[in-house]
Structure 1
Amino acid sequence: MTIKILADSACDLSEDHYKTYDIEMVPLTVHLGDEEFKDSIDIKPKTVYDAMREGKSPKTSQVSPQSFKAIFTSYAQANQPLVYLAFSSELSGTYQTAKMMEQEVKEAYPGADLHVIDTKCASIGYGLVVLRAAQLAKKGADSDEIVETAGYHARNMEHIFTVDDLEYLYRGGRVSKTAAFVGSFLKIKPILHVEDGKLVPLEKIRGSKKLLNRMLDIMEERGTDFSSQTIGISHGDDVETAQKMAALIKAKFKTDDILIEMVGATIGAHAGPGTLALFFLNKDYK
């Protein structure tokens, strides 16, 4: 029986990806004012970015235990194998909730073939891991192969990103108020990365002109085998800059397989408009 792949909305994949690879998606929740929305179902990222530009502060919350229990139970009852690849446990409690529900469902259905994996990834970096798993599932791979290969891609997925305004990361508790103020005042652009699932500052660049080139330099320093993998770029409602980065990557690394998507509402609510992120493997494609 074909393994079913489950992801959550923080993977920032498009509806076309879900349909093409038969991926099931469970949404996180976005809170805007007094209203609640299911990420990527009831609300689009641009709505969140426009609200942030107007000074609003959207919030997010994890997937509920009830949602996971219902999904896991339905697959257990149908004897359908399921692999859930989760948004980084360092950025959301969704993974921990899913693990608790996995245990609960397996107590009721001891033979259930359920796997819950912490990717330690976010946005399209996470999405690329999900796509690799889904490709394997479509080819008939078993759950062990899918879990092993997806784990390899997750462990070796680089996330190099910048934000347009440090104020948004300050509101989300990612940087200090002083750093946010000084960065904005001096026009400093931070470059951050993900280390063991956490957001970690990497460098500070003064002026946006140097920024893209430096991000590509880091890609060259850390990455490998660019011609055999899909390179991911996600953006906070700034497709022009994302396309500019893609053109630079094609010219420098001679790769044409580049996936560009907008940073979804869940992550965008904390990173803000103007975010730009680059994703690639630091080991050979598997």
Structure 2
Amino acid sequence: MNVKIIADSACDLSKDYYIEYGIEMVPLNVHLDNKDYADVKEIDPKIIYDGMRNGKAPKTSQPSPEAFKKVFTASAEKKEPLVYVSFSSKLSGTYQSAKIMEDQIKAEYPDAPIRVIDSKCASLGYGLVVLHIAKAAKNGASFDEIVEAAEHQAQHMEHIFTVDDLEYLYRGGRVSKTSAFVGSLLKIKPILNVEDGKLIPLEKLRGSKKVLGRMIELMEERGTDFQNQTIGISHGDDLERAEQLASLIHEKFKVPRENIVIEMVGAVIGAHSGPGTLALFFSNQPNK
């Protein structure tokens, strides 16, 4: 029996991947205009970005423990091995909700082969981890092999990203009000990454023209073996810049274009990063 792979909607993978690899997705929630939506299933990220451009402030919340209970119970009853890789626990309570249900299900089904893993990743960086193990599961990898692969890929996933407006990160508590105000005045473009599951500022650039070149430089400094891994690019409703970045990666590192995945930043992540976000994901140790 193949291992069932579970992800949540913060992985920012498109629906085609869920279908192709049999990934089951648990949605986070988005709150906009006094309505609640299940991410991916009930709302398109474009709606979020258009709303933010018009001054709206969407909110997000994690799935309930009951959402995980339903999925975990179904697998436990069938004795189906299940691995759930979650959105970073430092950015959401989703992992904790899943762990609560994992403990409860295992109390009722002591032999249930269920594992909940904190990816400490976000957006398509998290998505690449899920995609890697989903491919392994489809090819018949064992439960232990998939757990090991998930932990390795998550540990070595690099996130390099920038945002168009620091105000959105300020609203989410990621930067100070002063930094957001000064950054907006001076047209400062921050470059950030994710370390141990948390957002960490790397540097600040004046203006946007230098950003793509600097992201390529950081990719070269922090990664390796680019031709033998999947590279991820996600964008906050700015496909043109995402395509520009993909072309630079193709030219610089000779990465086949089919090995570069481009996705829109989903509604949950986008509600905090805002329109114009551009993110680059790759492994610093793709093959163990």
Same fold at TM > 0.5: yes
Aligned to 1:102: 102
Aligned length in residues: 286
Contact 2:153 2:286 in 1 (8 A): no
Question: In structure 1, how many angstroms separate the alpha carbons of the residues matched to 2:286 and 2:128?
Answer: 14
Contact 2:86 2:119 in 1 (8 A): yes
Query: Tell me, what secondary structure is at the counterpart of 1:13?
Result: coil
Q: Percent identity?
A: 67
Aligned to 1:80: 80
Contact 2:81 2:112 in 1 (8 A): yes
Query: Tell me, what secondary structure is at the counterpart of 2:88?
Result: coil
Question: In structure 2, how many angstroms separate the alpha carbons of the residues matched to 1:69 and 1:19?
Answer: 22
2:287 is the alignment partner of 1:285: yes
Q: Read off the aligned partner of 2:5 and give its amino acid letter.
A: I
Question: In structure 1, how many angstroms separate the alpha carbons of the residues matched to 2:78 and 2:286?
Answer: 37
Aligned to 1:241: 241
Aligned to 1:10: 10
Matches within 5 A, 1:121-140: 121-140=121-140
Contact 2:156 2:286 in 1 (8 A): no
Question: In structure 2, how many angstroms separate the alpha carbons of the residues matched to 1:268 and 1:112?
Answer: 35
Question: In structure 1, how many angstroms separate the alpha carbons of the residues matched to 2:20 and 2:26?
Answer: 17
Aligned to 2:53: 53
Contact 2:233 2:242 in 1 (8 A): yes
Query: Tell me, what secondary structure is at the counterpart of 2:25?
Result: strand
Deviations 1:237-277 (A, max 9, x none): 00000000000010000001100000000100000000000
Deviations 1:174-219 (A, max 9, x none): 0001000000000000000000000000000001111100011000
Q: Read off the aligned partner of 2:26 and give its amino acid letter.
A: V
Q: Read off the aligned partner of 1:102 and give its amino acid letter.
A: E
Deviations 1:5-30 (A, max 9, x none): 00000000011000100100000000
Aligned to 2:144: 144
Shift of 1:150: 1.2
Shift of 1:33: 2.2
Shift of 1:227: 0.5
Aligned to 1:111: 111
Q: Read off the aligned partner of 1:280 and give its amino acid letter.
A: F
Shift of 1:284: 3.5
- Gaps of at least 5 residues in structure 1 are none
Shift of 1:285: 2.7
Matches within 5 A, 1:25-36: 25-36=25-36
Matches within 5 A, 1:201-240: 201-240=201-240
Q: Read off the aligned partner of 1:193 and give its amino acid letter.
A: N
Aligned to 1:267: 269
Shift of 1:153: 0.7
Task: Output the aligned Cα RMSD.
Answer: 0.6
Shift of 1:70: 1.1
Q: Read off the aligned partner of 2:223 and give its amino acid letter.
A: G
Q: Read off the aligned partner of 1:75 and give its amino acid letter.
A: S
Question: In structure 1, how many angstroms separate the alpha carbons of the residues matched to 2:64 and 2:143?
Answer: 25
Q: Read off the aligned partner of 1:212 and give its amino acid letter.
A: L
Question: In structure 1, how many angstroms separate the alpha carbons of the residues matched to 2:115 and 2:286?
Answer: 25
Aligned to 1:23: 23
Query: Tell me, what secondary structure is at the counterpart of 1:209?
Result: coil
TM-score between both structures, scaled by the size of structure 1: 0.99
Question: In structure 2, how many angstroms separate the alpha carbons of the residues matched to 1:63 and 1:21?
Answer: 22
